[in-house]
């Protein structure tokens, strides 16, 4: 028995959820749909051919996906911002091939070297990447971390593993999607750079404009792909 009823968690009934879902943060949801149902932990809205699920807390990304087992969801787009590392810049668009699991704060603090990863290698990943390589969509790896403070201590590891995206949801969502038998793809825009311009630093206006344009462009690419 689930600890909370689906409708209480999502604000909508499981039968209202479509086969394709877009998981994002609350501030990104209006890029895909306007009308929302307000659940206890997420907001949901149905666009033309997808259900948009906006997280109120990114640490519940995994639980949110597991709840989708009650629905007909079989395809999951994870959309959002990330910190950049290495040879990427703010505003770059990324598609994640491998997601490394640094979800444990204790492991990050202890500098545990046994870091496992999962691959986004399903049909959804392949089809999206085949459609949009000309859009400067950079294929790279991600590190799903549990600490903004400790990520700077992992820069050498990130470079060794060709990790250019640092986030808090990628490997969690992929693991949970695998558990419920759904196909997932992770698409991100770089909002800051952990070496050159860490989160919280002031951005130049031209950089802000580039990030805003890239965010909208990536959202449109996803919407067009789903609706074609």
Q: What is the pLDDT of residues 177-198, one digit of tens each?
A: 999 999 999 999 999 998 887 6
Architecture field, domain 6-227: 3-Layer(aba) Sandwich (3.40)
161 has a pLDDT exceeding 90 = yes
Q: How confident is the model at residue 78 (pLDDT cuts 50, 70, 90)?
A: very high
The model's pTM is 0.93
Report the distance separating Cα 228 and Cα 224, nearest Å: 6
Three-class SS of residue 163?
A: strand
Number of H helices, E strands in the chain: 7, 10
The runs of H, that is alpha helices, within the chain are 6-10, 61-67, 105-110, 123-131, 155-160, 170-180, 205-227
Q: Give percent of the chain with pLDDT exceeding 70.
A: 97
pLDDT 10s digits, 96-129 = 999 999 998 888 888 877 888 888 888 999 999 9
Q: Give percent of the chain with pLDDT exceeding 90.
A: 73
Q: How confident is the model at residue 13 (pLDDT cuts 50, 70, 90)?
A: very high
């Amino acid at each position: 028995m689930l600890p909370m009823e689906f409708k209480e968690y999502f604000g909508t009934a499981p039968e209202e959820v479509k086969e394709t879902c877009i998981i994002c943060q609350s501030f990104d949801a209006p890029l895909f749909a306007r009308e929302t149902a307000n659940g206890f932990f997420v907001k949901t809205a149905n666009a033309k051919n997808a259900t948009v699920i906006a997280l109120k807390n990114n640490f519940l990304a995994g639980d949110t996906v597991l709840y989708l087992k009650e629905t007909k969801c079989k395809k999951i787009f994870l959309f959002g911002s990330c910190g950049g590392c290495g040879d990427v810049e703010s505003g770059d668009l990324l598609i994640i091939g491998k997601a490394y699991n640094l979800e444990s704060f204790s492991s990050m603090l202890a500098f545990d070297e046994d870091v496992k990863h999962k691959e986004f290698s399903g049909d959804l990943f392949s089809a999206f990447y085949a459609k949009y390589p000309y859009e400067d969509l950079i294929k790279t790896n991600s590190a799903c971390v549990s600490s903004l403070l400790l990520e700077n201590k992992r820069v050498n590891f990130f470079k060794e593993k060709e990790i250019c995206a640092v986030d808090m949801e990628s490997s969690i969502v992929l693991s949970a999607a695998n558990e419920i038998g759904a196909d997932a793809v992770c698409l991100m825009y770089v909002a800051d750079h952990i070496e050159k311009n860490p989160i919280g630093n002031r951005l130049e206006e031209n950089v802000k404009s580039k990030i805003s344009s890239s965010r909208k462009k990536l959202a449109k690419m996803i919407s067009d792909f789903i609706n074609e």
